[in-house]
Amino acid sequence: MSQDMQQLADMIAIRSILDEYCLRLEINPFDEWLELFSDDTVYEVFRKELRGLDDVKAMLSKAPHGVHLPGALRIELDGNVATTIQNYVFVGEDPTYSNQGWYYRTLMRTDGGWKITHTKVKIQKQVKPAITT
C-alpha cells in the first residue's frame, strides 16, 4: 500500500475508533467501550489521572448517562502514533451534568488495530452572567 493510501486508511480507522467512543459509551455494554483503549491507558478527567483499564472502569462506569455529541476532529499522524483534538457536547439525562469541551487523545497502532493510549478531557468552564438590577 502506498504511503498516501496508508495515511488515508489510518485516518479512517482513527475516526471510526473515536465515533465508537461516543456510541459505545451510550448504547453498548461498558466493557465494549473499554475495548477501544490499550491496557495501560491513561485517562485524565475531573483533575484525576486514571491509570489502566481497572481505574478507568472503576470511575467512569459510574458516570452520568446522556448523549455524547462529538464535533470537529483534528488528527496528526506520526507513524504508529496519532494525536487528536476533538470538541464535544455532553447532554446529560440530568441536565446538571451536561457539559462541553475537548478531548485530547493519543492513539497507537497495535497488532489489534488503533487503541487509545491517553485521553485528557478538558471541560469548558461555565461562566454565569452577572446579575444586573
**What residue numbers bound the domain in which 42 lies?**
3-123
Backbone angles phi, psi at 20, to 5 degrees: -60, -30
128 pLDDT tier (thresholds 50, 70, 90): low
Tell me the sheet residues that pair with 87: 102
Number of structural domains found in the chain: 1
pLDDT 10s digits, 78-112 = 999 999 999 999 999 999 999 999 999 999 999 99
Residue 106 is assigned to a structural domain of this protein: yes
Q: Is 77 exposed, middle or buried (0-12, 13-18, 19+ CB in 10 A)?
A: middle
End-to-end Cα, the chain, rounded Å? 67
d(CA 43, CA 53): 9
d(CA 33, CA 24): 5
Q: Is the pLDDT of residue 133 over 70?
A: no
19 pLDDT tier (thresholds 50, 70, 90): very high
Residues with Cβ < 8 Å from 51, sequence gap 6 or more?
A: 40, 41, 42
Residue 39 near residue 55, CB atoms below 8 Å: no
Domain CATH number, residue 22: 3.10.450.50
> The pTM is what?
0.90
Residue 38 is assigned to a structural domain of this protein: yes
4 pLDDT tier (thresholds 50, 70, 90): confident
pLDDT 10s digits, 22-34 = 999 989 999 999 9
Residue 19 is assigned to a structural domain of this protein: yes
Residue 77 near residue 84, CB atoms below 8 Å: no
pLDDT 10s digits, 38-75 = 999 999 999 999 999 999 999 999 999 999 999 999 99
Residue 130 is assigned to a structural domain of this protein: no
Cell triple for 120: 485528557
b/e sequence 2-28, b meaning 16+ C-beta within 10 Å: eeeeeeeebeeebbebbeebbebbeee
Residue 17 is assigned to a structural domain of this protein: yes
